[in-house]
Structure 1
Amino acid sequence: MIISRIRSVSFLRPINNYRSYSYKPISRPQINSLVNKSYIDKKLNKFTLKEILKTKIEMSGPLTVASYMTEILTNPESGYYMSRDVFGQKGDFITSPEIGQIFGEMIAIWCLTEYQKIGSPLPLQIIELGPGRATLIQDFLRVFDKFKVSKKLTIHLVELSPYLSTMQAQKLCYSSSKMDQESGLPYYQTGETLGGVRIFWYRRIEDIPKEFSIILAHEFFDVLPIHKLQRDGSCWKEILVDKDPTDVNKFRYVLSRNETPVSKLFSSMRPNEKRNHVEISLQSDLIAQQIAERIESFGGIGLIMDYGHEGEKEDTFRAFKNHQLCDALHEPGSADITADVDFKNLKNILQTDDKVIAFGPVEQGTFLKRMGADVRLEKLLENCEESEIENLKTGLDMLINPQKMGSRFKFLSVFPHVLKDHLDKFPVMGF
């Protein structure tokens, strides 16, 4: 049975089962010869991800969960997202845009409506962070083309995976090309759709031109690296990933002997935290700050769509393989690893210093209903083949049913703070 990555599960053992461990400084050998370095690089490329992780642990001690996630998901040679299609029935999980066109259409209608309400400024950039198979942006472009807006925009995709960026170009463009590494351009790939829309690919959001932008982030923040912290008496310590001494092929969780830089930072930032176990993502905080600064300085709208909570959950770190939950430490690199987004913290970071104003989060089912997803379904049913009726109905039910994806996924919208009075007069749709 296909499921989305929506359930929470804990693989952490009780706190007294962790082996205490402290960070240890080490001296690394210096590579003095380019020949030797080249030889070593070739050898490293032959290592499995498990061997790379074990070597890192042997050299510098247990890894933070954030380092573990980064290596597993984006290692250039064998990272989970870097060289394969992991979405859909034949992958490990399915996302909302893949379930049916209604999802992407409602997102596009929302963006178009809010864009027009603030005067339709030009030039217009559409930025998507982590576009996956590009299904969402494809549906988005179809709607904007229907309303004769597509020729006024450019598309800017932030994608680390060479495999996925190639797949996206094949899906969206009639022609595309990769840039030479020595070109000095901020983007590494460009293309053009049949309708004449230019598309650019980047590795970092900060490389995208500073213009008015509609920023989309669908299931993007959930795969950004997290640090896992555990309360231990009067202080916070960090949960780390170590080799299992009882089995050379396995990893296990351990607890740091002392406070770590991240746990000290957390203690100073959230002295009144009530939970005993928290997950924080410094990279998520940084990107949220970048989004807020971009929208404040150059204008724009943001829509963040992900599964998450409002600051009440503790352990949500988990893995998915073949649409089933599995142990995040088992066979690293063979499964997707993820954690719920803390929307309460994300909203607080975005609204720091009143750069932007954020609305939500609201549940996905609520948002889609308010946007008229039911009405759109009825219209589609009038013109579809008999064989497609059941798929359309079950697809929308999957998206809006509270027992499925409807309540677990949440939406957060972002606008420049200067529009606060305007948005009080003309409320944001769906929120």
Structure 2
Amino acid sequence: MRTLLGVKTGQLLGRVLRSAAAVRCGVRLSCSSSPSMLRHLTSKIKATGPLPVAEYMREVLTNPVTGYYVRNNMLGPDGDFITSPEISQIFGELIGVWVISEWMGAGGPKQLQLVELGPGKGSLASDVLRVFSQLRSVLGEVSVSVHLVEVSSALSQLQAQKLTESRNREADNKDDPVYRRGETAAGLPVSWYRRLEDVPAGFSIFLAHEFFDALPIHKFQRTKKGWREVMVDIDPEKMDQLRFVVVPSPTLASSTLIESDERRDHVEVCAEGGVIIQQLSRRISEDGGAALIADYGHDGTKTDTFRGFKGHRLHDVLASPGSADLTADVDFSYLRRMAGRGVACLGPITQRLFLRNMGIDTRMQVLLRNSSEPSARKQLISSYDMLTNPDKMGERFHFFSLLHHSRLAKPKKAEGLKLEKKSPAPLPVAGFTELSFS
């Protein structure tokens, strides 16, 4: 085990670099408008009054009957948006190296749970597991299991097909917290859950890529009378349309979610994201492990970021609800505050810096050397540019990590020894520290 834990993260990546493969292309996807969602929302507003933006987002995205994520398969070049794992397999491979590096940094526990929140089409998990297979000699006898937190039945079927092919089945009991089970070709168990709290306890590496940006946000506006919540109401002049309103009186949310020293005039708070961060913090503190969050966001500086995407274009968030994705930039300063003192936080740093620290340039050189087809080389260069270009995803997306405090602890002198022998220094945290490829 001492030899295993002495392997550098750069050496891990070096092993992956020797396996070159082509970049995946997206598949055709589509989604349609949802007039029934608009009727549902207007009926609800007529019955109970204006809706908090958080409730509006929750209904539009995850309503069990007409929700955007529940009904649609929206990922891909011909869908409404595309994510980094779909652009290039390199992204997922580097995340896989990061997971193994953190497992090693924790001392190589005998069990490793790979937990992904909102796993999309399963591409990221698939790429990570391929790295696990390539580095099986490093992992040794560790018991690996995969746990996916996914509310969309449609997406869970895509994930199951990619990760397990036909080796999966749905639970007989709809109330079973594990609503689908399967196993990969290598025999690794895969389980699907609708809630993070249903994932079993144990040493876990949590991944959340473009997950927090889709969680419901509350919107607040500073007024002469204090903070007031922004809500969604029916437009009185156009009864078939919605509009934003600033409610005249304080709400529970406006009274509890705004920091006393807040200087901005417009604030978005993702209370649900805060709860999930607290859950991750508690689990990492109690069971060990780490969390890697990749998303577009800011460090407590932006104001109005709520927007919609349809066909890769900006879309009015209140128009044709249910037909477009809704999203808001992640406030990493809020996530850090919600994590509390139970864990150490690193970041946010830009995607460009994280991927370069992880060795994306070296990986690209290997792929290009092993690619003779002009079209494949062009695709590789295009995907690299999309992921790292500051004007594209390079500085738009950020990486943020939660770690067990022991992971960054300074070496201590061995007790009872006259010599000043020290415990081994912790391994650098991959991605947040530049790697050496010696």
TM-score tier, shorter chain, comes to 0.7 to 0.9
Give the deviation of 1:186 after TM superposition.
2.6
What's the counterpart of residue 415 of structure 1? 403
Is 1:195 the counterpart of 2:183? The answer is no
What's the counterpart of residue 330 of structure 1? 319
What's the counterpart of residue 233 of structure 2? 242
What's the counterpart of residue 205 of structure 1? 196
What's the counterpart of residue 367 of structure 1? 354
Give the deviation of 1:422 after TM superposition.
4.6
Identify the match of residue 143 of structure 2 among 132, 135, 152.
Answer: 152
Distance 2:105 2:315 in 1: 45
Give the deviation of 1:114 after TM superposition.
2.0
Give the deviation of 1:389 after TM superposition.
0.2
What's the counterpart of residue 281 of structure 1? 270
For the residue of structure 1 that corresponds to 2:323, the secondary structure is coil
Q: Give the alignment's TM-score, normalised by structure 2.
A: 0.85
For the residue of structure 1 that corresponds to 2:239, the secondary structure is coil
For the residue of structure 2 that corresponds to 1:194, the secondary structure is coil
Identify the match of residue 42 of structure 2 among 51, 54, 58.
Answer: 54
What's the counterpart of residue 429 of structure 1? 430
Distance 2:368 2:204 in 1: 34
Is 1:357 the counterpart of 2:344? The answer is yes
Is 1:265 the counterpart of 2:256? The answer is yes
Identify the match of residue 172 of structure 2 among 171, 180, 187.
Answer: 180
Aligned partners of 2:35 and 2:320 also within 8 Å: no
Give the deviation of 1:190 after TM superposition.
0.4
Distance 2:168 2:278 in 1: 32
Aligned partners of 2:266 and 2:304 also within 8 Å: yes
Is 1:399 the counterpart of 2:384? The answer is no
What's the counterpart of residue 73 of structure 1? 61
Distance 1:192 1:422 in 2: 40
Distance 2:378 2:338 in 1: 42
For the residue of structure 2 that corresponds to 1:68, the secondary structure is helix
The AA in structure 2 aligned to 1:367 is F
The AA in structure 1 aligned to 2:306 is F
Distance 1:161 1:322 in 2: 20
The AA in structure 2 aligned to 1:378 is Q
1:220-249 Cα offsets, whole Å, 9 max, x none, are 000000000000124100000001111122
Identify the match of residue 161 of structure 1 among 127, 152, 156.
Answer: 152
Distance 1:422 1:122 in 2: 24
Is 1:380 the counterpart of 2:381? The answer is no
Is 1:316 the counterpart of 2:305? The answer is yes
Distance 2:173 2:106 in 1: 39
Distance 2:242 2:384 in 1: 40
The AA in structure 2 aligned to 1:398 is M
Distance 2:430 2:189 in 1: 28
Q: CA RMSD in A?
A: 1.5
Aligned partners of 2:102 and 2:289 also within 8 Å: no
What's the counterpart of residue 42 of structure 1? none
For the residue of structure 2 that corresponds to 1:254, the secondary structure is strand
Identify the match of residue 306 of structure 1 among 295, 298, 317.
Answer: 295
Aligned partners of 1:213 and 1:295 also within 8 Å: yes
Distance 1:246 1:223 in 2: 30
Give the deviation of 1:77 after TM superposition.
1.2
Alignment gaps of 5+ in structure 2: 1-33, 412-424, 433-438
Distance 1:114 1:294, change over 3 A: same
Is 1:256 the counterpart of 2:247? The answer is yes
Moved more, 409-418 or 362-371: 409-418
Tell me which stretches of 4 or more aligned residues in structure 1 moved more than 6 Å: none
1:105-148 Cα offsets, whole Å, 9 max, x none, are 11111111121122111211000000001110010000011001
Aligned partners of 1:358 and 1:413 also within 8 Å: yes
Distance 1:371 1:386 in 2: 26
Distance 1:422 1:399 in 2: 34
Give the deviation of 1:386 after TM superposition.
2.6
For 1:214-233, what aligned pairs fall within 5 Å after superposition?
214-233=205-224
Aligned partners of 1:122 and 1:212 also within 8 Å: no
The AA in structure 2 aligned to 1:259 is P
Give the deviation of 1:425 after TM superposition.
4.7
The AA in structure 1 aligned to 2:260 is P
Q: Give the alignment's TM-score, normalised by structure 1.
A: 0.86
The AA in structure 1 aligned to 2:237 is T
Distance 2:264 2:90 in 1: 38
The AA in structure 2 aligned to 1:134 is G
Is 1:293 the counterpart of 2:282? The answer is yes
What's the counterpart of residue 114 of structure 2? 126
For 1:98-117, what aligned pairs fall within 5 Å after superposition?
98-117=86-105
Distance 2:226 2:310 in 1: 35
Aligned partners of 2:242 and 2:319 also within 8 Å: yes
| Aligned residue-pair number | 381
The AA in structure 1 aligned to 2:334 is N
Distance 1:248 1:231 in 2: 28
Give the deviation of 1:426 after TM superposition.
3.3
For 1:22-101, what aligned pairs fall within 5 Å after superposition?
48-101=36-89
Aligned partners of 1:237 and 1:258 also within 8 Å: yes
For the residue of structure 2 that corresponds to 1:248, the secondary structure is strand
Distance 1:143 1:429 in 2: 15
Give the % identical residues. 47
Distance 1:426 1:156 in 2: 26
